[in-house]
A and B are shown apart, each in its own frame.
Chain A
């Protein structure tokens, strides 16, 4: 069972370039999330979705956009990458209610130069 799959695993971007990170889950989870993890900053929520066709802002949404056109997929877009967006990005999914915890992907390490 794959769980949560993130692609790509690594990427280097130049400042101003755009890219899309893909998250796919095969557990039929309603909720999906995008986090970034930076040294000394812990996990910070970027955007989340409580169902197909819905998205909402998290703690640090600026510079990112998301889409949830299909229940199993949650895309994170960077329209114009900045060095401050260098980070490790994690996608997670969960059933509703948050009593079952999250299933995380293995992460995407993004470097913006």
Chain B
């Protein structure tokens, strides 16, 4: 069945460092791919998305490219800020029985000043 695997955290970086959070997926067909962010005490927010192969989603300095050949959707940011500290979830749009999204386990990011 469809699944999403993302790197375990926590990831700890210094401010202005480069961020990569790896995400790979297994799916039949051509699913949409998403990154969500969850700040402490809040719900998940959609960060970016890509709906077909080679699409690049971007928002707030974050980017991810839908790579069908490597079944990956890695999240990147060139220079992280303390305010980026949060939990990041990779997700796959599943068309099995009602369009249920499959979420990865989440990766916690800590950014130090």
Contact = CB atoms under 8 A, between A and B. Distances in A.
A64 interface: no
Given A98-B95, A99-B51, A101-B49, A107 B106 contact: no
A43 B36 CA distance: 12
B100 to A, nearest CB: 6
A42 B43 contact: no
Contact of B32 (A90, A99, A103, A107): A99
A36 to B, nearest CB: 12
Interface in A51-96: 56, 58, 90, 92, 94, 96
Contacts of A105: 43
Interface residues of B, number: 24
Contacts of A50: 98-99
- Residue of B42, B45, B101, B106 ringed by the most chain A CB atoms within 10 A: B101
B73 interface: no
A36 B14 CA distance: 32
Interface of B: 32, 34, 36, 42-46, 49, 51, 89, 91, 93-95, 97-101, 103-106
11 contacts: A33-B100, A42-B103, A43-B44, A45-B100, A94-B99, A97-B99, A99-B32, A101-B46, A105-B43, A106-B42, A107-B42
